[in-house]
Structure 1
Amino acid sequence: MPVFKIHHITRYEYDRPVKESVNDIRIYPYQGPDQEVLLHELNITTHPEIQTHIDYWGNKNGVFNVLQQHTQLIIENRLLIRTVAPAQLRINFHGSFEQLHQECDNQLQLLELAAPDNISRQAGIIAIVQELHKPGKSVAATVEYCSEYIFKHFKYNKGITNVNTTVDEILQHHAGVCQDFAHLMLQILRTLGIPGRYVSGYICPNKNGMRGEGATHAWVEAWLPGYGWAGIDPTNNVWVTNTHVKLAVGRHFNDCSPVKGTFKGPAKQQLSVFVSVSYEDGQVFEEINNVHLNPHAGEQADAPADKTFAQQQ
């Protein structure tokens, strides 16, 4: 059972003082049977009181305010996590679509997660669905084929997409990063009637190496009949076992954003994100991202400026 040490620092810097910073964070480890939290330390500039609650999707959220003037806001998160999922999953490859529909019947959240978004290029999604969906193929086999299709037909390319990139744009680029591949896979699965949810977290070091390891990451969980939620990572074309640490789930990235917030003040902001993941054998992966934000945010002194950002790689 691997143990991972994760150090995650989110740093906002402002070119002049701001105030009334109100923030919503989803950086608490997801409570589930596949991971154990051995240590969690959270340090925030000015040490504000944090109000926590469980949201609609089962995530632990924290809300805090920094009312006084400040020129930087640092959110430092330290985790020690043991992943207890088996390295080899016993996925149910016999569950049929008929069984899936029976399980979803009258389950509001599953029905919600099985409804595709209304997008302009849905015809492109339907073309993919027609290639993936074969009569008699199980739900799990279809999900696995979907992951393989994205892995083979879409290029992993940093820097061409951002947090606001749509599935329409991903289909146009035929490229993106893990967040994009997760959103694309969800649209395909939901068009097939398979409930799927977006997952944010970390992908941890392993001997073979994977795209995005040592950084924040995104993948998908699909509902398999006779099994339940199963994680699958289209960026790496693998079922999720004990090398992924889960933070939050939702319908899309916006439900899982590590930090959302606003502030008041005529300031421009800069954001950097540092992530370090240490494996129990001493191997360490580190990454620093300078995240692009709206350069004009906060130019009106009394207008709240948004500082939601994406970290997914």
Structure 2
Amino acid sequence: MLAIRHETIYRYTAPLTYTIQQLRLTPRHDAHQHIKAWDITTGGRCHAFIDAYGNASHTLTVNGRHNEVRIVAQGLVDVAPLYCGRLPARESLSPLVFTVPTGLTEPTDAVRQFASQHLGTGARSGALMALADAIRGSVMYQSGATGVTTTATDALRLGYGVCQDHAHLFLACCHSQDIPARYVSGYIHAGDTDHAESHAWVDVWVDDVDFSGWVSIDVTHAQFTGAMHCRLAIGRDYDSAAPVRGVRHGGGTETLTVRVDVASA
């Protein structure tokens, strides 16, 4: 069982008159993951809906003058271990939905060359894990080295990045060989590592001898995901699975503070 608390605070140097944000801050109802308790607290009004990828989502609107937007999501989630990262079958979307590149995951010539060097036999778990290991070795983890607009090719060229860059490069390599792969946002019980507890990884469609389906891989750690990974949302890239995205009217300069705490319960 994971106890999770995620606080996001936007502060502004001048008053806003309107804020609208899309929140993907509720863990997914997947076969191996069950919410025991969950709550989202914020000012304004929240409208719940399910997005195109099956993610539990909310639209937050704040009207009137305000200098701050504070969002707190917290609760308890029971996550079962996965055998070799294999996700139990419970899908409504075709895997082919996740073969379409985006601006962040476009397989350029540099990415195609990298994939041809490291992906090997294609959609087999061993080959895909070897790709994850190659990405971890080629794009060193460095907090703050990149931003949310950094593409897979940018991260490969820079040689530095964070979990979302690792995920985007993995997706781009898979797309270069028409292998379905998708972005996952969520949380990790990081233990003694220096990686943030707000995390991102990938699901990839494998065709192993004894299994055909989605396998979840933490590219940053080059390992299969398991009971320490809580899934928030899936999408084609960061933009379609981001925990918080929105626009505002007014506000001047924005300062963002995020704190995520994940512990065993």
Aligned to 1:132: 118
Instruction: Give the conservation status (yes or no) of the 8 Å contact 2:4–2:261.
Output: yes
1:53-92 C-alpha deviation (Å, 9 max, x unpaired): 1111111110121112111110011121111134x43759
Give me the whole-angstrom Cα distance separating, in 2, the residues matched to 1:200 and 1:161. 17
Question: TM-score, length-normalised on structure 1?
Answer: 0.76
Which sections of structure 2, spanning at least 5 residues, go unmatched?
none
Give me the whole-angstrom Cα distance separating, in 2, the residues matched to 1:260 and 1:129. 31
The higher-RCO structure (CA 8 Å, 6+ apart) is 2
2:221 matches 1:223: no
Q: Which amino acid aligns with 1:182?
A: A
Q: Which amino acid aligns with 1:167?
A: A
Aligned residue for 2:112, secondary structure, equals helix
Aligned residue for 1:149, secondary structure, equals helix
Which sections of structure 1, spanning at least 5 residues, go unmatched?
93-106, 281-313
Instruction: Give the conservation status (yes or no) of the 8 Å contact 1:154–1:176.
Output: yes
Q: Note the C-alpha offset of 1:256.
A: 1.0
Listed as ranges, the matches of 1:60-139 within 5 Å are 60-86=56-82, 88-89=83-84, 109-117=94-102, 122-134=108-120, 139=124
Equivalent pairs, count = 257
- Distance change (3 Å), C-alpha of 1:73 and 1:124: same
Aligned to 1:254: 239
Give me the whole-angstrom Cα distance separating, in 2, the residues matched to 1:251 and 1:38. 28
Give me the whole-angstrom Cα distance separating, in 2, the residues matched to 1:22 and 1:200. 21
Q: Note the C-alpha offset of 1:227.
A: 3.3
Aligned to 1:305: none
Aligned to 2:152: 167
Give me the whole-angstrom Cα distance separating, in 2, the residues matched to 1:54 and 1:170. 31
Q: Which amino acid aligns with 1:143?
A: L
Aligned residue for 2:11, secondary structure, equals strand
- Distance change (3 Å), C-alpha of 1:128 and 1:220: same
Q: Which amino acid aligns with 2:218?
A: D
Question: Following superposition, which runs of at least 4 residues in structure 1 exceed 4 angstroms of deviation?
Answer: 117-121
- Distance change (3 Å), C-alpha of 1:75 and 1:146: same
1:170-223 C-alpha deviation (Å, 9 max, x unpaired): 1211111101000000000111211000000011144xx44525x200001001
Q: Which amino acid aligns with 2:14?
A: R
2:18 matches 1:20: yes
Listed as ranges, the matches of 1:232-251 within 5 Å are 232-251=217-236
Aligned to 1:151: 136
Q: Which amino acid aligns with 1:190?
A: H
Instruction: Give the conservation status (yes or no) of the 8 Å contact 1:8–1:275.
Output: yes
Give me the whole-angstrom Cα distance separating, in 2, the residues matched to 1:66 and 1:121. 39
Q: Note the C-alpha offset of 1:22.
A: 1.3
Percent of aligned pairs with the same amino acid? 27
- Distance change (3 Å), C-alpha of 1:262 and 1:116: closer
Aligned to 2:176: 191
Aligned to 1:267: 252
Instruction: Give the conservation status (yes or no) of the 8 Å contact 2:86–2:213.
Output: no
Question: TM-score, length-normalised on structure 2?
Answer: 0.89
Give me the whole-angstrom Cα distance separating, in 2, the residues matched to 1:249 and 1:132. 25
1:123-162 C-alpha deviation (Å, 9 max, x unpaired): 2222222223445x65222211111111222211122101
Q: Note the C-alpha offset of 1:112.
A: 3.3
Give me the whole-angstrom Cα distance separating, in 2, the residues matched to 1:229 and 1:211. 28
Q: Note the C-alpha offset of 1:121.
A: 7.3
RMSD across aligned positions (CA): 2.3
Give me the whole-angstrom Cα distance separating, in 1, the residues matched to 2:139 and 2:67. 41
2:198 matches 1:212: no
Instruction: Give the conservation status (yes or no) of the 8 Å contact 1:200–1:219.
Output: yes
| Greater fraction of residues in strand | 2
